[in-house]
Structure 1
Amino acid sequence: MRKYQGRKSLDLALLEIDTKITVLSSQVQAVFKDSMKSFYNKDLKRSQKIIEEDILINNFSKEVETQSIEIIRDQAPLASDMRKLTSLIFVSQELERIAD
């Protein structure tokens, strides 16, 4: 469990979450493209790989959510930081849903 203290550590934690959202977005985009190719080519092996990757994406999304909640709990961010964190949680959930 991480303990966040001070504005600088909050900024670093927010940057880390931003980076993870970017990674998650790239993963979802790749899976989406693969799923379209798999569907078009009726490729069952690729489809199975996509299902396995979905599990990883689900776990990564949960990690982002958990880390965001820990930041909220430990830092008690105000106004814009709180809005940003809750927005990032929603983005993470939507990206995970797209990957499904």
Structure 2
Amino acid sequence: MSIREKFQSDLDELKNSLLELGTLAEVAMIRAIDSLKHQDLEEAKRIITDDYKINELEKQINERAILLIMKQAPVASDLRRIVTVLKVSSDLERVGDLAVNIAKSVEHMGSTPFLKKIEDIPLMASLAQKMLANVLDAYYKEDTVLANTTAKLDDEIDELYGSLIQELLELMAVHPKSISQITQLAFICRYIERIADHATNISESTIYLVRGEQYRLNA
């Protein structure tokens, strides 16, 4: 195997590891929302415990990426691929952290019945999860069209976030004794909105990877 072939093989391995990290982050988010819907405190604890897998894989990816830069002194296009790996891995690790934050809010609320049916929050979460799945696909295929169109979903999530926060504020006035639960639900809405922001970041990184230019989507 030539030096170039070995370098390309290393880049491919990095890409595959990044997609594995993406799957772990996406699954963590799905599990966190399920634990919310079912008030599954044991599952919430498991999500928090399992976060080390995401953190460890991100660390491994970053170390391998930096080592490639140091050993190979890559040209501009190859360096862009490695820089993109570092940026995307950071966003995915943050998605994992946000899933943990959701699980911690579930733990904090405990088994006290919800004031209202939890429907709109999972709806917003499903849109964020769709964004995450699509941007990972866009990154893998280097599809700038998919990256761009997926980022537009962030506007819909922002609208849902705004309406949910308004509804929760109104509930506080009616149910002052349930402020703790309402506050945690507001936190969860914010965590989901942030996950969508990280998915948008990955869209921007994908466009940077392909075109070599920085783009701000939904600015």
TM-score by length of 1: 0.92
Matches within 5 A, 1:57-68: 57-68=54-65
Q: Alpha-carbon deviation of 1:41?
A: 1.4
Query: Would you identify which runs of 4 or more consecutive aligned residues in structure 1 move more than 6 Å?
Result: none
> Are 2:39 and 1:42 equivalent residues in the alignment?
yes
Unaligned runs of 5+ in 2: 98-219
Larger Rg: 2
In 2, distance between residues paired with 1:49 and 1:31?
Answer: 10
In 1, distance between residues paired with 2:65 and 2:39?
Answer: 39
* Aligned partner of 2:26 among 19, 24, 29: 29
> Residue type of the partner of 1:21?
L
- 1:48-98 superposed Cα distances (whole Å, 9 cap, x missing partner): 110112111011001000000001011111101001101111100100000
> Are 2:4 and 1:7 equivalent residues in the alignment?
yes
Across the aligned residues of Structure 1 and Structure 2, the Cα RMSD in angstroms comes to: 1.0
> Residue type of the partner of 2:89?
S
Matched positions, count: 96
Identity %: 29
Which is bigger in relative contact order (C-alpha 8 A, separation at least 6)? 1
Matched residue SS, 2:74 = coil
> Residue type of the partner of 2:77?
S
* Aligned partner of 2:77 among 72, 77, 80: 80
In 2, distance between residues paired with 1:71 and 1:35?
Answer: 35
TM-score by length of 2: 0.43
